[in-house]
Amino acid sequence: SYGETVTKDMIDDMAKKHFPMCMRNIHNALRRDRQMKHQGRLQYTLFLKVLGLPIEEAILFWRESYANDQKTQDKFNKEYKYNIRHSYGLEGKRANYPARDCRSIITGNPPGANESHGCPFRHFSTSNLQSALSALYGVPSLSQDMSDILNAVEAKQYHVACTRVFELTHDNQGMAEGESVSHPNRYAARSRELERE
């Protein structure tokens, strides 16, 4: 983070401008379904923490993101809130949990039905990936860029595919010299850095 506080109201906009596909996928699923399974919540909570979202804002963000019925809100108060505080090191072992890096996300448990965690480059079918690249990042379906990305995925070079998407959406500016995407928070930080330049 830049020592600047991120608030819950900034997240929709930041997701569009600065988040890698794994986090945009989770964000959009949360907005669409108004619920999120455990692994997705964990992946996103830790990412938002490292992005600079303070605990109070995180609790408000998640509470508002969830459906507003009594059953869900009871579950929120009994269980989800504890899990969020746990991710911030405020419960249990009080460990300062890091956000997951690409390697851990890519090699971790693949998402099952109704789950949104994971890395879209690794875990989406080719056709879903292609649609998501067009819809979320404006990569034209039949373009050379699309072929390059899908070829990288085919070769299991997921970080290369993700780096290419970063470049395409940042006027061909990339990560730092010789760097490819290895952490979702690094992706977001670099994107915010370029916006400031």
Residues in binding site: 22, 102, 119, 162
How far does the chain reach from its first CA to its final CA, in angstroms?
Answer: 16
What distance in Å separates the CA atoms of residue 108 and residue 76, rounded to the nearest whole number?
A: 26
Q: What is the DSSP letter of 100?
A: P
Residue 189 interacts with ligand SF4 (CB under 6 A): yes or no? no
Q: Do residues 135 and 36 lie in contact, with contact meaning Cβ atoms separated by under 8 Å?
A: no
What span, in angstroms and rounded, lies between the C-alpha atoms of 37 and 77?
A: 16
Q: Choose between 111 and 120: whose C-beta lies nearer to ligand SF4.
A: 120
Judged by CB under 6 A, which stretch of 19-27, 46-54, 66-74, 135-143 contacts ligand SF4? 19-27
> Do residues 79 and 33 lie in contact, with contact meaning Cβ atoms separated by under 8 Å?
no
Q: Which is nearer to ligand SF4, 10 or 160 (CB)?
A: 160
Stretch of residues binding ligand SF4 (CB under 6 A), selected from 60-68, 75-83, 114-122, 189-197: 114-122
Q: CB under 6 A: which stretch of 4-12, 20-28, 33-41, 77-85 binds ligand SF4?
A: 20-28
Provide the residue type at 146 as one letter: M
- Least distance to ligand SF4, CB of residue 66, Å: 23
Which position among 162, 168, 175, 189 is part of the footprint of ligand SF4 (CB under 6 A)?
A: 162
Residue type, 34: R
Cβ neighbours of 31 (radius 10 Å): 11
28 vs 73, beta carbon nearer ligand SF4:
28
Look-up: residue for tokens 């690409």?
A: 102
**Which range of residues in 49-57, 72-80, 100-108, 130-138 is near ligand SF4 by CB under 6 A?**
100-108
159 interacts with ligand SF4 by CB under 6 A? yes
Smallest distance from ligand SF4 to CB 104, Å = 9
Q: Is 184 in the site for ligand SF4 (CB under 6 A)?
A: yes
> How does 125-156 read in b/e, with b if 16+ C-beta sit within 10 Å?
eeeebbebbeebbebeeeeebbeebbebbeee
Binding site for ligand SF4 (CB under 6 A): 20-22, 102, 105-106, 119-121, 158-159, 162, 181, 184, 187
